[in-house]
Amino acid sequence: MAPPKDPFLDAHFTLVATPEALGKHWRTCNYCKKLFKGFKAPSRGKAHLGGFDHAGVVPCPETPETLRKELLAAQTKEVEQKQKELERKAERERIYKEERDQADAQKMQKQSKVTDWQQDLRKSLDRQAGRAFYHAGIPFYVAQDPEVEKFITDLIAAVRAGLSAYKLPTRQQLSGPLLDAEYASQQTQFSKFFETDHWTSLQTDGWRNVKRKAVTNYCLTGRGGTMFLAADYPEGNTKDGEYLAKKLDEAIKIVEALKMKPLLGSIVTDNAAVMLKANRVLDNEEEYPDRKYLIKTGCVLHQYNLLYKDLCQLEYFASTWKESNAIVNFFRNHYKAQSWLEEAQKRVGGDAGLSAPMPAPTRFGRRYIIWEWLFLNQYALKDAFCRQEWDGHDWGTLEDGTPADAPMRVILLSSFWTRVECCVDFFKPLWVMQRKADTDGPSYVSFCYPDMLDYQVHVDNFKGPLPHRQQAEARTIFSLRWEKLHQPLLSAAYVLHPAYIKRDWFNDAEITRNFKEVFGQLCSTGTEAATALLDLNKYRTKQGPFSEEYMWSKAAWRDGALAWWEIWGGTCPALQEVALRVLSTVVVTSGAERNWSIFGFIHSKRRSRLYDGRVEKLVYVYQNMRLLRKRQSKGWKDPVVAPHLTDDEDSDAD
């Protein structure tokens, strides 16, 4: 294709006639001999010779001064014309807006009395809606609940369609036939919630309701979260291993009756002895046939909490906690001290973000939260304690007659803050593990094993001021807890995550033994297990179907290991089936534990007379309806836990 002719370019630039430049519009400057590729329009040439900024074009150092001034003057004139055009456009828009506003004002003035009557009616309805909320004690967020908005919209549409009158259903109708109908309707929605899953997991947990009555819930968990399935109210001393195994079997039958596409693949419970016994009872093929195929796991997060609790019993951490808790309780129980602390936080914290509220009482990682809060606010605490008004204030006395603020004296000791910092450094990795594991879906199963390995290295090589004897005790505590937590499934899930392919796991005899055991359990025949293990060797060495380099990039597995095996594992169906089964396994009961919040919300002190069966249906409808709506909302994405990689692994992945 012949290059376009342009007088300016032809006068100051020469076309390159080499074969490689043929048809590509390459030109060289007649003054500095610089080569420009793809030179079609004169704008870049003028910028080059004139020396003004244009898309990063380099100025020509050899341009004649006369030509340069001429081009700069033309450029300045062009910029001024564009500016004037923008001003004229803005003026036209301003005039148009004024005319439009004037027309709207005239239109408003011509509104009929009927419109004014409608406005008055809307105001009256708004006032009555407010009175209904205030009188019934309804939370304000209900006004924006999508189901409430849909009810109002449908009611207005019905009136327009000819409905002459409508009365809200009675309490008997709401708690009876209407609730039963919605409960039955929600049972048909399970398949929609788990449509992207290959396998699901059954979670169960225990609790006591507002009547202090024992309750056991059963929830079904997949990629998108947890949906409530059923509840049981055991009486007396019936809650033993055989009883729980029977109830688990009944819950499994409920799942099977739903006839969903994803099959039930695992059961996850807490680590209580009675739950472990129930799992062993289910493995009895004579009593419970077709139940041994299910993977049975304990809650990893529960084991993390027990490890955290065991480590906090060490003298060093226990004594530091006693002093730390006394400080926090003192500020929480004395309004004047807390107000002084808030002033000090604003003054000392500044832009450092230390002006934080007091940590709320919680069982989940409470000690680490308080230690971290103390460490971040140590200067504000010292500032509040050293106020002139402090010593003059009457804080009262303790039971032994000492001043109530006596525990506060440790704030001034540097040794106390050294111990607090040591506690923060020692427990922070475990706290991160707890937060990462606290998820509803199966995305954490691959990370338990490497996280525990990393924390073991952290405990073994800890450089803080922890006494050597207690550090040795910490190693022993970790080893004992790891023996209880570890199971072959965790090793297999670790092996099957592409993020950890760089680690030398294939030389670890324990890991090799564990994933062979899992493969033998999950494969239906020995031939299938052997095929899967051969494919695993190709996966480990990145050969055959796993030889493409981009398969192992960070972008390839950013949506999780499950998605990675769905995309890249199709050429090895035996290995892919095992990987999808293992990586779909849930190893925490967070979803079942969060379900108790909904139980507490519905079966509260104000509604303590609700029947157990009605509570179960209300929880079922409430939780499942909200989760299904959330999953079907725009922008929904299955939650993914990001792996913690070493610097070398992270750079390799990138």
- The conformation of residue 386, written as its DSSP 8-state character, comes to T
Strands in 2-55 per DSSP E: 13-15, 27-29, 35-36
14 and 75 housed in the same domain: yes
DSSP character at residue 142: G
**3 and 98 share one domain:** yes
Same domain, 216 and 286: yes
- Count helices and strands (H / E) in the chain: 27, 8
Q: What is the pLDDT of residue 268?
A: 92
Any idea which of 11-15, 146-150, 218-222, 546-550 has the lowest mean pLDDT? 11-15
pLDDT, greater one: 638 or 603? 603
pLDDT at 482 over 70: yes
Tens digits of residue pLDDT in 258-276:
888 788 889 999 888 888 8
pLDDT band for position 653 (50/70/90)?
very low
Nearest to 568 by CA among 560, 475, 23, 376: 560
Rounded Cα distance between 415 and 19, Å, is 79
Q: What is the pTM for the complete model shown? A: 0.74
Flag whether pLDDT at 231 surpasses 90. yes
**Sorting pLDDT into bands at 50, 70 and 90, what band is 548?**
confident
Q: Rounded to the nearest 5°, which phi and psi values hold at 208?
A: -125, 130
The residue from 67, 86, 109 where one domain ends is 109
Are 87 and 193 in the same domain?
Answer: no
Rounded to a whole number of angstroms, the CA Rg of the chain reads 35
Task: Give the per-residue pLDDT at 122.
Answer: 83
The residue to which tokens 């048809």 are assigned: 23
Q: What is the mean pLDDT of residues 126-153?
A: 89
What's the pLDDT tens digit per position in 494-531? 989 988 887 776 677 888 888 888 888 888 888 888 89
Across the range 65-69, mean pLDDT stands at 85
pLDDT at 639: 59
The structure tokens 């039958």 sit at 253
Question: What does the pLDDT average to over 141-152?
Answer: 89
Q: Are residues 48 and 69 in the same domain?
A: yes
For 138, the domain range is 114-166
Distance CA 458, CA 447 (A): 16
Burial class (CB in 10 A: 0-12, 13-18, 19+), 469: exposed
Q: What's the rounded mean pLDDT across residues 614-630?
A: 89
176-185 residues labelled b (16+ CB within 10 A) or e (exposed): eeebeebeee
- Total domains present in the chain: 3
Q: Are 264 and 201 in contact (CB under 8 A)?
A: yes
Give the per-residue pLDDT at 3.
57
Q: What is the pLDDT of residue 351?
A: 41
For residue 455, give the amino acid letter: Y
pLDDT 10s digits, 29-46: 888 888 887 766 788 888
pLDDT band at 338 (very low <50, low <70, confident <90, very high): confident
Is the dihedral angle over the CA atoms 600, 602, 608, 611 positive or is it negative?
A: negative
Q: Say which range, 102-106, 185-189, 611-615, 632-636, has the weakest mean pLDDT.
A: 632-636
For residue 654, the model assigns a pLDDT of 41
Residue spans of alpha helices (H) in 438-572: 448-460, 468-485, 488-495, 509-522, 526-541, 561-568
pLDDT at 614: 93
Question: Which whole number is the average pLDDT over 57-86?
Answer: 86
Alpha-carbon distance of 608 to 213, in angstroms, equals: 11
Hey, how many other C-beta atoms are within 10 angstroms of the C-beta on 189? Answer: 14
Encode 590-642 in three state secondary structure: HHHHHHHHHHHHHCCHHHCCCCHHHHHHHHHHHHHHHHHHHHHCCCCCCCCCC
For position 17, what pLDDT does the model report?
A: 74
Asked whether residue 517 is domain-assigned, the answer is no
Q: Is the pLDDT of residue 621 over 50?
A: yes
| 373 domain-assigned | no
CATH number of domain containing 249:
3.30.420
Amino acid 229 reads: L
Q: Are residues 188 and 294 in the same domain?
A: yes
Query: Mean pLDDT: which of 4-18, 60-74, 346-360 is highest?
Result: 60-74
In a domain, 491, yes or no: no
Are 149 and 130 contained in the same domain? yes
- 190 and 282 both lie in a single domain: yes
Give a yes or no: residue 650 inside a domain.
no
Angstrom distances, CA of residue 93 to CA of 97, 98, 102, 356: 6, 9, 14, 48
Domain boundary, last residue among 60, 82, 109 = 109
Q: List Cα–Cα distances, 225 to 372, 384, 420, in angstroms.
A: 30, 45, 37
Looking at the structure, tell me whether residues 101 and 129 fall in a common domain: no
Residue 470 in this model has a pLDDT that exceeds 90? yes
Q: What is the mean pLDDT of residues 488-492?
A: 90
577: confidence class by pLDDT, cuts 50, 70, 90: very high
Q: Kindly state whether residues 270 and 218 are assigned to the same domain.
A: yes
DSSP β-bridge partners for residue 295: 266
Residue 650, pLDDT > 80, answer no
Q: Are residues 32 and 54 in the same domain?
A: yes
**pLDDT over 70 at 362, yes or no:** no
460 in any annotated domain: no
Structure token digits, residue 145: 């609940």
Q: What is the pLDDT of residue 625?
A: 87
- Average pLDDT (537-562) is 86
Look at residue 291 and tell me whether its pLDDT is greater than 90: no
Closest by CA position to 133, among listed 142, 145, 121? 142
**Is the pLDDT reported for residue 353 higher than 50?**
no
Residues 6+ apart with CB under 8 A from 61: 32
Q: What does the pLDDT read at residue 273?
A: 85
Instruction: For 315-325, write each residue's pLDDT tens digit.
Output: 999 999 999 98
- Rounded distance between C-alpha atoms, residue 470 and residue 426, angstroms: 12
- Residue 37 domain flag: yes
Is the domain of 158 the same as that of 250? no
Least confident of 44-53, 164-173, 610-619: 44-53
Give the list of residues 6+ apart from residue 309 with CB closer than 8 angstroms, or none: none
Q: Is the pLDDT of residue 396 over 50?
A: yes
Helix H segments across 188-287?
190-193, 241-258, 273-282
What DSSP element (H or E) covers 226?
strand 225-232
Mean pLDDT score of the chain, rounded to an integer? 84
35-36, strands of its sheet edge to edge: 13-15, 27-29, 35-36
Tokens of 608: 């303590």
Give dist(CA 561, CA 409) in Å, integer.
52
Task: Give, in degrees to the nearest 5, the angle at Cα 236 between 233 and 238.
Answer: 75
Query: Per the domain annotation, does 84 fall within a domain?
Result: yes
Q: Tell me if 643 is assigned to some domain.
A: no
